[in-house]
Amino acid sequence: MIERKNNIKILKPKIPSDLNESDFSKENISDYSSISTVVFKDDYLEDIEAKHVCFNETLFKNVKFLNVSLRNIELTDVRFENCDLSNAIFGEASIHRAEFVNCKLTGINFNEATFKNVIFDQCKGQYALFRFSHCNQMMFSNSQLCFSDFQESEFLKVEFSNTDITQCQFFGTKLKGIDLSNCEIEGMGASVEDVKEVIVSPAQVISLAGLLGIIIKG
């Protein structure tokens, strides 16, 4: 169990040490397929479209996803390490006890996903989509999320640490109690109600002034 600031406790994935090695193929990934206790290494997944695929106790390492759509995917006790999931479609996913470490997530689609006990660490997630998502016990650390979209999402025990959220959109998402003081927030989009009681540094107040209707006179 990892304890973070703001008393957020995030459960790590429970992944056995004796995983079986496996290769991706179109034949073993189809609607409602279930895959567990395996490791995928130095491989790629290409031209796959399926729904309700379930991965349990699985490690993805140095795996590239190309033209992949896995809507309603279920990820439980899963770790992605050094993977490229750019533009993958994981809409309406259910993700529990998962880690994305040093992954490329540019343009990934997590719209309407449900997250619980999920860590994104050292990831590049520019233009990632998290609209209408439910985020519980979730952390972004040392990551790039410029131009990403979190509109109309629900945050419960969510943390951003040393993360670039420049030009991110949070309209309709309450940021109350979230500490953004060590993040880049220039051009962040949100309403006055969304940023009520958000925690920022004195220097960042200038970035939020436009949202609050404040005119700063030099």
SS3 letters across the chain: CEECHHHCEECCCCCCCCCEECCCCHHHCCCCCEEEEEEEEEEEEEEEEEECCEEEEEEEEEEEEEEEEEECCEEEEEEEECCECCCCECCCCEEEEEEEECCECCCCECCCCEEEEEEEECCECCCCECCCCEEEEEEEECCECCCCECCCCEEEEEEEECCECCCCECCCCCCCCCECCCCECCCCECCCCCCCCCECCHHHHHHHHHHHCCCCCC
Kindly report the average pLDDT of the chain as a whole number.
Answer: 90
pLDDT tens digits, one per residue of 4-15: 444 688 999 999
pLDDT tens digits, one per residue of 114-130: 999 999 999 999 999 99
Tell me the β-bridge partners of 198.
none
Going from N- to C-terminal start, the domains of the chain cover 2-212
CA distance 156 to 129: 18
Q: Which residues contact 75 (CB under 8 A, 6 or more apart)?
A: 55, 58, 93, 94, 95, 96, 98
pLDDT-based confidence at residue 82 (cuts at 50, 70, 90): very high
pLDDT of 61 > 90? The answer is yes
CATH superfamily assigned to domain 2-212: E3 ubiquitin-protein ligase SopA (2.160.20.80)
